């Protein structure tokens, strides 16, 4: 039996940005778009050109995508002017994306109350806006806002809005449950009725919100009813309680029946296996602690705590697991058994080029050390370079390049002699290389004279005078710096993760933890330098 | 039309305790039981007597409940002995609870593989165990483990397990989706088939897990099919991805159609209105940050960030809200962000007690300032206290309490005279209050002598000697500190958000931004103090 195609539409960069407290930078938008493209998402909605400076910049230099179609989001034209003369719509069109998604009203009450126009004017606005896009050679998508409430209030009018868009040439019309209040059974019924009324399922999309905790189920109900485009976000970001979570939906569609046999998407098995990492990268970008209980990708999603479960798991994993965790890039955790831990560990060491025989007692020691340090607030999920250094230290395979004696940082804010408030940091680092003592000092002012703070001063002092090691660190650059307050035992501590790169394009991440944020940063900086020296074969001292 | 009764069964204290990292104390178990009883839950499962010392103690001094029935959890008797002679079952019976829930196998594969007994022996174990409870005057509930997988493998046998329990006198038999892999549509179909096969719906319960993100929807599907007892946990705690979340289910059952008209529970409108508080208390007990996007009860559940939504909300809240937030004890929030407009701003000012007429030019100035500062890296979505200070400054309604002259922080790591590495920070703050100059100094060591870092030292120096203002800040406490690297224009800057509280239980959040992390923290600390002085009516200087 040939499979039907389902199309995945991601709106993390648009509706996901409506999440309270979320505001993506330009670089983050590019990073997320590349990740979505790599996963096999079909449509990536980039934002609303003109809504804010970042979105506008993003459309000025759009991401280079392999598979996905890039979209701009906007609104159907306003009444009283033609589509070509509506400057809001023009802003969206001028973004030059191959596809455009326009939201419009489909609920009679909203047309008359919120827009204040007649029902006929709204139908004309939909048709004209879509025709305008199509005449410019764009793929047009119509998001029917409040569709389910609208259908219940006036089904003929709600359907007329969809028909207006389809007849004007829209590739897709999307049923949006904008306020998130429609339950799955009703989403299924109404979607079925829409298809029965003549809207083809392969031109029909679904957009749900999680206000009742049913966004994923509502999406599945719409697919069961015949919808073929699925809108959602990474980790279920979005306005209020969020949108349908693509990270939960994708494994269900690919691995679970009846979906796996009936449908296909552009997500490959490799894309699926990168899902756990993608979800955690998203949390990293948001500086959020990943939710351990997240379906499929959470750190606890395959953790078997109950003693009864754990022992049955050892006999046959299928007893308490509905899918194999490796298919989504996740891991089984059985707190009682060290067995699973050791094979995981060996795999990670191999990734770092360290081959350790099964049964080597160093494996147990490294595992214990990782556990103890994670309990103290460290995290080695992303800081792979620090993980490698930890393992090498335990295996006796880490040369000593230099020894830190002491450091001191002064942070100051005061008035200068012109009465202006200035801030300035100064760092002194003292270290030994091959028995020779070296003192370095740096301040925190950049080329423009702006204060970049104590960590910057420390980083510069540290890498300023490494003598014979200097050539090895010259091309290092600190590209990102993430700080999180976390629990280390009973006390709150600061975890700093530093991402570095060098001129060869290599990227690596290191971690430092302390109640003192400057100290945590210093540790992560030191690890970053050590890893670089190791990789480039610098001489031990 | 008379309503059918739905029974709510909470297993937070048993299955919820299987959550990775969760271990309730005796006091916490009592606190949670009282809270559940107050909500109107019908059954409270307290744990497994004998499984661990805390559970045993809890059953020795059981909670005094008003409405709810208290239960012990256990397992059907083992083969080869009578129910009366099974010491594990005896431990459960001896807890003396009015009701007992026993889990047993219903999947033929698990009977033969995991238990290693014949299918007939398992049926006899179910019947004997339930009869034994009934003979002792207990209400008996049978949890059919792996029911859905069992039904798909051998429906006759799975049904025979339910019948064995019912014929032996079980009040309820519960269909458990133990590994969480059954999707809602299938849960609905199989539940319907079970009722068609003769199991009365009013003796049938449902127990789902969230491994595909569908636990709530699966529960609703079972209710639609006729099941009348609902098992779940507060905040969806539970093994792996958790159980069905009662905090999401209860408002749906009470407020949403078709449930509100068809069914009734023991949850009163007052119980429903206490739900947000109950959910947050649960997180407090777990020392978790409440999830902002939680359906119904999350801090963002009724937050309207999109500018378009916010202006429609002012006209009619029903445009973007599917239920009234006050019904579940939650609040509407219209956060400030660069997507918001003037109507949003006026509403936000009103919440802070600042009435500004529409058209007042100050509105435009405040909006521009918010936008400019958000572009520089600030975020006012959560930092409402800083937003209020910003607006008051612009409106000329912020008294000047004190003036900062300068500060200096020294961060040091060195060896002490015993050769041990120590780290220490010291902060000096100089400020003016009413023309009088005040110098304060603090170091970063806490009571145990551990270094808590430069921000801690600065915070203590700042609040150490505020002279006449000192009584107003004495009861302030820093409860959370969040750091994020973000983009301010083209440069990376540090954004610090500080959550504070005082002895009256007030919580407020402030923000500071700088390339210098110590400076950003200092700004957020200053704002926190200013807001507290403002609220408590401290004198201007």
Q: What does the H/E/C string look like for A70-98?
A: EEEEEECCCCCCCHHHCHHHHHHHHCCCC
Interval A363-396: pLDDT, tens: 888 888 887 887 788 878 668 899 999 999 999 9
Residue A231 has pLDDT above 60, yes or no: yes
B184 lies within 8 A of chain A by CB? yes
Q: Average pLDDT of B8-21? A: 90
8 Å CB contact between B139 and B191: no
User: Does residue B126 share a domain with residue B78?
Assistant: yes
Predicted pLDDT of residue B296: 97
User: Does residue B103 share a domain with residue B85?
Assistant: yes
Distance from CA of A439 to the nearest CA of B (A): 14
User: Does residue B384 share a domain with residue B322?
Assistant: yes
8 Å CB contact between B168 and B201: no
User: Does residue B355 share a domain with residue B336?
Assistant: yes
Q: Average pLDDT of B480-498? A: 76
Percent of chain A with pLDDT over 90: 64
Nearest CA in chain B to A223: B185
Residue A343 has pLDDT above 80, yes or no: no
Residue identified by tokens 């798909």 is B152
Predicted pLDDT of residue B150: 97
User: Does residue B407 share a domain with residue B337?
Assistant: no
Q: CATH number for the domain including A32?
A: 3.20.20.70
Beta partners for A514?
A494
Predicted pLDDT of residue B382: 75
In chain A, % helix, strand, coil (3-state, to 5) comes to 45, 20, 35
Residue B491 has pLDDT above 70, yes or no: no
B423 lies within 8 A of chain A by CB? yes
B406 → closest Cβ in A415, A483, A519: A415
Q: Average pLDDT of A3-28? A: 92
Q: CATH number for the domain including A460?
A: 3.30.160.270
3-state secondary structure B324-355: CHHHHCCCCECCCCCCCCHHHHHHHHHHCCCC
Residue A396: count of CB within 10 angstroms of its CB: 7
Predicted pLDDT of residue A338: 41
User: Does residue B317 share a domain with residue B220?
Assistant: no
- Give A308's pLDDT tier (boundaries 50, 70, 90): low
B232: chain A residues, CB-CB within 8 Å: none
Q: Average pLDDT of A406-423? A: 90
Mean residue pLDDT across chain A: 90
Q: Which of B212, B252, B311, B337 should one mutate to test binding to chain A, selecting the residue with the greatest count of A CBs within 10 A?
A: B212
Predicted pLDDT of residue A336: 39
B213: chain A residues, CB-CB within 8 Å: 216-217, 245, 248-249, 252, 295
DSSP for A460-492 reads: HHHTT--GGGHHHHTT-EEEEEEEEEEEETTEE
The answer to whether the Cα torsion of A44, A49, A51, A56 is positive or negative is positive
Distance from CA of B382 to the nearest CA of A (A): 7
User: Does residue B23 share a domain with residue B168?
Assistant: yes
Residue A100 has pLDDT above 60, yes or no: yes
Q: Is the ipTM of this complex over 0.95?
A: no
A309: chain B residues, CB-CB within 8 Å: 239
In Å, how far are A132, A186, A370, A433, B526 from B446, measured between CA atoms?
67, 58, 27, 35, 21
The answer to whether the Cα torsion of B212, B217, B220, B226 is positive or negative is negative
Residue A349 has pLDDT above 50, yes or no: yes
Out of A267, A295, A314, a domain closes at A267
Nearest CA in chain B to A252: B212
User: Does residue B366 share a domain with residue B343?
Assistant: yes
- Among A41-45, A421-425, B203-207, which is the least confidently predicted range? A421-425
Residue A363 lies in a domain: no
Residue B504 lies in a domain: no
Q: Which two tokens stand for residue A268?
A: 């490959």
* Cα dihedral B182, B187, B193, B196 in deg (nearest 10): 150
Distance of alpha carbon A271 from alpha carbon B189, whole angstroms = 32
Q: Which of B105, B217, B450 should one mutate to test binding to chain A, selecting the residue with the greatest count of A CBs within 10 A?
A: B217
The secondary element (H helix, E strand) that includes residue A410 is strand A403-415
Maximum distance among all alpha carbons in chain A?
Answer: 85
Distance of alpha carbon A300 from alpha carbon A19, whole angstroms = 24
Predicted pLDDT of residue B506: 85
Q: Which two tokens stand for residue B345?
A: 């701003």
8 Å CB contact between A10 and A232: yes
By residue count, chain A amounts to 541
8 Å CB contact between B116 and B110: no
Percent of chain A with pLDDT over 70: 95
Q: Which two tokens stand for residue B403?
A: 């003036």
Interval A243-288: pLDDT, tens: 999 999 999 999 999 999 999 999 999 999 999 999 988 988 887 7
Q: Is A342 left (phi over 0), alpha (psi -120 to 50) or beta?
A: alpha
Distance of alpha carbon A428 from alpha carbon B388, whole angstroms = 40
Q: Which two tokens stand for residue B108?
A: 């033929």
Residue A70 has pLDDT above 50, yes or no: yes
Provide φ and ψ at B33, rounded to 5°: -60, -40
Q: Average pLDDT of A109-134? A: 93
Distance from CA of B70 to the nearest CA of A (A): 22
- Among A494-508, B251-265, B514-528, which is the least confidently predicted range? A494-508
Residue A334 has pLDDT above 70, yes or no: no
Residue B528 lies in a domain: no
> B311 vs A232, which has greater pLDDT?
A232
Answer whether B453 sits within 8 Å of A494, measured CB to CB: yes
Residue A368 lies in a domain: no
Q: Which two tokens stand for residue B162?
A: 């339910």
Predicted pLDDT of residue B240: 93
Answer whether A451 sits within 8 Å of B224, measured CB to CB: no
Distance from CA of B398 to the nearest CA of A (A): 21
Predicted pLDDT of residue B338: 47
Q: Which two tokens stand for residue B311?
A: 């202006």
Residue A37 has pLDDT above 90, yes or no: yes
Q: Which two tokens stand for residue A297?
A: 């990708």
Out of A222, A238, A267, a domain closes at A267
B18 lies within 8 A of chain A by CB? yes
Provide φ and ψ at B284, rounded to 5°: -60, -45
Alpha-carbon Rg for chain B, nearest whole angstrom, is: 29
B152 lies within 8 A of chain A by CB? no
Write b or e for each residue in B82-111: b if 16 or more Cβ atoms lie within 10 A of its Cβ, otherwise e.
ebeebeebbbbbebebebbbbbbbbbbbbb
Predicted pLDDT of residue B308: 63
B515 lies within 8 A of chain A by CB? yes
Q: Is A61 left (phi over 0), alpha (psi -120 to 50) or beta?
A: beta
Residue B12 lies in a domain: yes
Count structural domains, chain A: 2
A454: chain B residues, CB-CB within 8 Å: 411, 454, 516-518
Q: Which two tokens stand for residue A248?
A: 């939960």
Residue B156: count of CB within 10 angstroms of its CB: 9
User: Does residue B97 share a domain with residue B122?
Assistant: yes
Predicted pLDDT of residue B207: 98
Residue A193 has pLDDT above 70, yes or no: yes
Answer whether A19 sits within 8 Å of B114, measured CB to CB: no
Give the closest residue to B413 by CA, choosing from A44, A517, A402: A517
Residue B196: count of CB within 10 angstroms of its CB: 10
- Give B1's pLDDT tier (boundaries 50, 70, 90): low
Distance of alpha carbon A220 from alpha carbon B208, whole angstroms = 17
Q: Average pLDDT of B90-117? A: 93
Residue B283 lies in a domain: no
User: Does residue B130 share a domain with residue B182?
Assistant: yes
Give the closest residue to B168 by CA, choosing from B194, B195, B135: B135
A300 → closest Cβ in B184, B224, B240: B240
B241 → closest Cβ in A294, A305, A480: A294
Answer whether A410 sits within 8 Å of B409, measured CB to CB: yes
In chain B, % helix, strand, coil (3-state, to 5) comes to 45, 20, 35
Answer whether A480 sits within 8 Å of B484, measured CB to CB: no
Residue B54 lies in a domain: yes
Answer whether A212 sits within 8 Å of B213, measured CB to CB: no
User: Does residue B91 share a domain with residue B55?
Assistant: yes
Answer whether B113 sits within 8 Å of A178, measured CB to CB: no
Interval B114-141: pLDDT, tens: 788 999 999 999 999 999 999 999 999 9
- Give A353's pLDDT tier (boundaries 50, 70, 90): confident
Predicted pLDDT of residue B21: 67
Give the closest residue to A279 by CA, choosing from A254, A246, A321, A240: A246
Give the closest residue to B125 by CA, choosing from B165, B171, B156, B169: B165
A491 lies within 8 A of chain B by CB? yes
Residue B474 has pLDDT above 60, yes or no: yes
User: Does residue B83 share a domain with residue B219?
Assistant: yes
- Among A114-123, A304-313, B23-32, B348-357, which is the least confidently predicted range? A304-313
A483 → closest Cβ in B315, B320, B483: B483
Interval B40-52: pLDDT, tens: 999 999 999 987 7
Interval B396-435: pLDDT, tens: 999 999 999 999 999 999 988 888 888 899 999 999 998 8
How many Cα atoms occupy the beta-carbon half-sphere of B524 within 13 Å?
A: 33
Of chain A, the end-to-end C-alpha distance in Å amounts to 67
Q: Strand, coil or helix: what is B272?
A: helix
> A156 vs A540, which has greater pLDDT?
A156
Give the closest residue to A66 by CA, choosing from A260, A271, A287, A294: A271
Residue identified by tokens 């078997």 is A304
Residue A350 has pLDDT above 90, yes or no: no
Predicted pLDDT of residue B384: 87
Answer whether B305 sits within 8 Å of A114, measured CB to CB: no
Out of A235, A267, A299, a domain closes at A267
Alpha-carbon Rg for chain A, nearest whole angstrom, is: 27
For residue A115, what are the domain limits? 4-267
Q: Which two tokens stand for residue B197?
A: 């096969």
Residue A343 lies in a domain: no
Predicted pLDDT of residue B337: 54
8 Å CB contact between B322 and A181: yes
B515 → closest Cβ in A287, A452, A492: A452
The answer to whether the Cα torsion of A239, A245, A246, A247 is positive or negative is positive
Predicted pLDDT of residue A309: 60
């Amino acid at each position: 039996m040939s499979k039907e195609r389902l199309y995945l539409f991601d709106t993390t960069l648009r509706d996901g940005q409506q999440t309270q407290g979320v505001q993506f930078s330009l670089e983050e938008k590019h990073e997320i778009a590349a990740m979505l493209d790599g996963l096999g998402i079909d449509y990536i909605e980039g934002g609303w050109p003109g809504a804010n400076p970042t979105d506008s910049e993003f459309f000025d230099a759009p991401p280079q995508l392999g598979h996905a179609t890039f979209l701009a989001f906007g609104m159907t034209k306003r009444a009283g002017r033609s589509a070509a003369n509506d400057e809001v719509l023009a802003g969206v069109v001028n973004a030059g994306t191959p596809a455009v998604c326009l939201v419009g009203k489909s609920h009679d009450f909203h047309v008359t109350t919120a827009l204040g126009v007649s029902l006929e004017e709204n139908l004309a606005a939909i048709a004209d806006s879509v025709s305008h896009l199509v005449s410019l050679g764009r793929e047009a998508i119509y998001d029917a806002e409040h569709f389910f409430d609208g259908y219940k209030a006036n089904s003929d009018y709600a359907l007329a809005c969809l028909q207006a868009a389809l007849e004007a040439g829209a590739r897709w019309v999307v049923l949006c449950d904008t306020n998130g209040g429609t339950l799955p059974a009703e989403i299924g019924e109404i979607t079925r009725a829409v298809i029965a009324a003549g809207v083809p399922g392969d031109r029909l999309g679904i957009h749900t919100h999680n206000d009742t905790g049913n966004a994923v189920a509502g999406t599945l109900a719409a697919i069961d009813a015949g919808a073929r485009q699925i809108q959602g976000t990474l980790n279920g970001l979005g306005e209020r309680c969020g949108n349908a979570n693509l990270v939960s939906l994708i494994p269900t569609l690919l691995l679970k029946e009846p979906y796996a046999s009936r449908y296909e998407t552009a997500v490959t098995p490799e894309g699926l296996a990168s899902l756990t990492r993608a979800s955690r990268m998203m949390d990293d970008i948001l500086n959020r602690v990943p939710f351990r209980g997240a379906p499929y990708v959470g750190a606890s999603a395959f953790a078997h705590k109950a003693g009864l479960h754990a022992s049955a798991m050892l006999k046959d994993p299928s007893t308490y697991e509905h899918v194999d965790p490796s298919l989504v890039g996740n891991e089984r955790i059985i707190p009682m058994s060290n067995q699973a831990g050791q094979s995981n560990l060996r795999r990670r060491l191999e990734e770092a080029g360290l081959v350790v025989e099964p049964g080597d007692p160093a494996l147990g020691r490294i595992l214990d050390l990782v556990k103890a340090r994670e309990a103290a607030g460290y995290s080695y999920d992303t800081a792979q370079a620090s993980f490698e250094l930890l393992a090498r230290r335990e295996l006796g395979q880490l040369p000593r390049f230099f020894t830190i004696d002491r450091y001191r940082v002064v942070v100051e804010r005061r008035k200068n002699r012109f009465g202006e408030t200035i801030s300035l940091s100064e760092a002194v680092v003292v270290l030994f290389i091959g028995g020779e003592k070296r003192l370095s000092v740096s301040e925190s002012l950049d080329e423009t004279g702006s204060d970049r703070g104590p960590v910057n001063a420390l980083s510069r002092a540290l890498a300023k005078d490494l003598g014979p090691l200097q050539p090895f660190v010259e091309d290092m650059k600190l590209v990102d710096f993430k700080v999180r307050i976390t629990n280390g035992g009973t006390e709150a501590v600061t975890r700093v993760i530093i991402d570095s790169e060098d001129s060869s394009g290599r990227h690596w991440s290191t971690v430092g933890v302390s109640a003192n944020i400057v100290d945590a940063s210093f540790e992560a900086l030191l690890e970053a330098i050590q890893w670089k020296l190791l990789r480039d074969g610098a001489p031990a001292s």
